[in-house]
């Protein structure tokens, strides 16, 4: 479409799909300070320990590390401060109701730039057991082996 900028993925939480069963995903805006968006555009963000928390009818991105922007000097931000996620009221209510269930949590999957704005893809998820992780690894290895055998054969 004309005027639409493609999505540029800045950071992904690769462990999230390994550690959790992903149920429902949402796109949320992030309330940022000036130096934070510059660091995100430079790719200086980590979602390794990040999680989402619902408090006072607001969603918060916790423990996401956005590195300080070098040129901001004294106007820099705290790297791991809580950042408000911008969602509709009904989406926050739905997330809150899902999280009240035993074992369900909200995890950030990726941060990306869409039309010049930073967005966060979050998902409701439930933790996997060790045997679920082993089954995923076995399935992935089997698919890789099949792919390798198909590539090796010439017709």
pLDDT in tens, 118-130: 999 999 999 888 8
pLDDT, residue 92, reads 94
> Looking at the 3D structure of the chain, how many domains does it have?
1
pTM: 0.81
Residue 115 domain-assigned (yes or no) = yes
| CATH number, domain with residue 66 | 2.40.280.10
Tell me the C-alpha distance between 46 and 10, whole Å: 9
At residue 68, the pLDDT reads 87
Interval 122-155: pLDDT, tens: 999 998 888 888 998 999 999 999 999 888 765 5
List the one residue out of 31, 44, 32, 111 whose CA is nearest residue 71: 44
- What three-state secondary structure class fits 119? strand
Domain-embedded: residue 16: yes
Cα–Cα distance for residue pair 128/147, rounded to 1 Å: 26
Between CA 61 and CA 21 the distance in angstroms is: 20
The answer to whether residue 98 is domain-embedded is yes
Tell me how far CA of residue 29 lies from CA of 64, 110, 113, 127, in angstroms: 14, 12, 10, 25
Query: How do the residues of the chain divide into helix, strand and coil, expressed in percent and rounded to 5?
Result: 35, 35, 30
Residue 149 lies in a domain: no
User: Is 146 inside a domain boundary?
Assistant: no
- Residue 84 maps to a domain: yes
> Does 61 reside within a domain?
yes
pLDDT at 2: 58
Domain hosting 59: range is 8-128
Residue 144 lies in a domain: no
Question: How many other C-beta atoms can be found within 10 angstroms of the C-beta atom of residue 70?
Answer: 12
């Amino acid at each position: 479409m004309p005027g639409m900028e493609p999505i540029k993925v800045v950071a992904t939480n690769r462990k999230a799909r390994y550690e959790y069963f992903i149920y429902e995903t949402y796109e949320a805006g992030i309330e940022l300070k000036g130096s934070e968006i510059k660091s995100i555009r430079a790719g200086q963000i980590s979602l390794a320990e990040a999680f989402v928390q619902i408090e006072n009818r607001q969603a918060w991105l916790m423990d996401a590390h956005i590195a300080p922007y070098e040129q901001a000097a004294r106007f820099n931000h705290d790297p791991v401060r809580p950042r408000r996620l911008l969602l509709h009221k009904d989406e926050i209510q739905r997330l809150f109701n899902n999280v009240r269930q035993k074992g369900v949590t909200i995890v950030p999957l990726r941060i990306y730039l869409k039309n010049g704005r930073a967005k966060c893809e979050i998902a409701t998820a439930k933790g996997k057991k060790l045997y679920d992780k082993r089954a995923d690894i076995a399935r992935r290895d089997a698919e890789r082996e099949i792919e390798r055998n198909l590539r090796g054969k010439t017709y």
